[in-house]
Amino acid sequence: MALIVQKFGGTSVGSTDKIKAVAWRVLKNYAAGNQLVIVLSAMSGETDRLMGMARDMQQVPDLREMDMLLTTGEQVTISLFAMAVKEAGYDAVSLLGDQVRIRTNKMHTKARIKSIDTELIQEYLNNGKIVTIAGFQGVTEDGDITTLGRGGSDTTAVALAAALNADVCEIFTDVEGVYTTDPSICPNARKIDRISYDEMLELASLGAKVLDIRSVGLAKRYKVPLHVRSTFSENEGTRVVEEDKIMESMLVSGVTYSKNEARITLTKVPDQPGVAAKIFLPISDAGIIVDMIIQNTRAGDLTDMTFTVIRSDYDRAMKMLREIAGDINAESVTGAQDIAKISIVGVGMRNHSGIASTMFHILAKEGINIMMISTSEIKVSCIIDEKYTELAVRALHDAFALDKDTITVSEEIL
């Protein structure tokens, strides 16, 4: 008998019929003799709908109340799911985050899980029940309801799998697994059979929303075997596992894009010790995450500073930077929101040179200008004009032959 945590995303539970279909699928696994913990998201579109209503009430919604509102979405699906299981003659129990004491910190709308009490879940499982738990939510020590940030149900599922020492955590979604790039914009995208935690972390952090990045971090830390697969087929999906030899010979394993970026430039900043700290300390104190930073020295002890922030923080960042620019005697602050970050990811890059320059060459061939570049051991990212996103993704996917199931380096592209 295995203990399996299964998570079904919004599109998988988008209607009562779909919830019934999920219940039947779960019952098949139950009949095979497994203990099952089922984590559900809200119906697709529901979290956005609730956020829209909140904005009708308050220009900048109160974060505590926002969490109170958003957690209702998952309450609907877990209760309906439990009813569907009971209707089929089996037993299920639905539980909210605070009932299973998914304890989080107090960061409303982006809380982090601190601990989970497994006693109650284990007791229900031992009594033969299918336990269904609301994704994306938790509770603070003071009893306030919190949410874990968008896509947070993946994190709930992995955290439960780690706490319960489950045999596997299965993430069911609307695609067959993790692909070489987003299959909704690149028809040639190929499903990846096995991917390392580290590559998956990079893909998730660079825009592949198929898995929430925090869920991958937790899975890596607690060695939770992850299986990303489709709700609508029985096919084997993608296994997220520890790195192995075959993976090392892969050159590039995926292309990602993120339109969630904005660029800010401070010009003619005095080039002296302490200036970068004066710019970036207040920004980070305000909870604004800065990603890429480029500094270009000019003549006359002056420098230009360009960096990226998350698009939703752009207005706040610009306001702060106008003040900071005055304080440090910088000439101007300019910015743009119509940019995108395109990245290639692969553990094989560690052992090969020339990957970054190949990427630049391919973008140049398409006439796409690169505004910023950043690299790590296993990724290269470029900031480009947002309107070229799809073109860039497809061109890079083709050039690195990611549609082919090859694991060797293609000489032509280097």
Residues at the site binding ligand ASP, with contacts judged by CB under 6 A: 9-10, 41-42, 47, 73, 135-136, 150-153
Biggest alpha carbon–alpha carbon distance for the chain: 79
Q: Which residues contact 408 (CB under 8 A, 6 or more apart)?
A: 249
Half-sphere exposure of 392 (CA within 13 A, CB side): 30
Q: How far is the CB of 368 from Mg ion (least distance, A)?
A: 29
Partner in contact with 311, chosen from ligand ADP, Mg ion, ligand ASP, none, beta carbon below 5 to 8 Å by kind = none
Partner in contact with 239, chosen from ligand ASP, ligand ADP, Mg ion, none, beta carbon below 5 to 8 Å by kind = none
Question: Quick check: 184 binds ligand ADP (CB under 6 A)?
Answer: yes
The answer to whether 163 touches 193, Cβ cutoff 8 Å, is no
CA distance 78 to 49: 18
Question: In the window 139-168, what residues touch ligand ADP (CB under 6 A)?
Answer: 151
Partner in contact with 291, chosen from ligand ASP, Mg ion, ligand ADP, none, beta carbon below 5 to 8 Å by kind = none
Question: In the window 186-205, what residues touch ligand ADP (CB under 6 A)?
Answer: 203
Residue 63, burial from CB neighbour count under 10 angstroms (0-12, 13-18, 19+)? middle
Question: Quick check: 210 binds ligand ADP (CB under 6 A)?
Answer: yes
Question: In the window 338-377, what residues touch ligand ADP (CB under 6 A)?
Answer: none
CA distance 64 to 315: 22
Q: How far is the CB of 43 from ligand ASP (least distance, A)?
A: 9
Question: Quick check: 138 binds ligand ADP (CB under 6 A)?
Answer: no
Nearer to Mg ion, 73 or 151 (CB): 151
Helix ranges, 311-383 (H): 314-328, 355-365
Question: Quick check: 10 binds ligand ADP (CB under 6 A)?
Answer: yes
Q: In sequence order, what DSSP letters do the residues of 109-142 get, joined into one string? A: TS--EEEE--HHHHHHHHTTPEEEEETTEEE-TT
The answer to whether 161 touches 5, Cβ cutoff 8 Å, is yes
Nearer to ligand ADP, 138 or 335 (CB): 138
Nearer to ligand ADP, 204 or 320 (CB): 204
Question: Quick check: 177 binds Mg ion (CB under 5 A)?
Answer: no
Question: Quick check: 173 binds ligand ADP (CB under 6 A)?
Answer: yes
Q: Which two tokens stand for residue 73?
A: 């979405």
Question: In the window 252-271, what residues touch ligand ADP (CB under 6 A)?
Answer: 254
Question: Quick check: 151 binds Mg ion (CB under 5 A)?
Answer: yes
The answer to whether 71 touches 78, Cβ cutoff 8 Å, is no
Nearer to ligand ADP, 170 or 182 (CB): 182
Q: Which residue has the tokens 């380096």?
A: 409
The answer to whether 258 touches 244, Cβ cutoff 8 Å, is no
The answer to whether 366 touches 391, Cβ cutoff 8 Å, is yes
Stretch 16-55: interaction string toward ligand ADP, x if CB under 6 A:
-------------------------x--------------
271 DSSP assignment: -
Residues that bind Mg ion (CB under 5 A): 9, 151
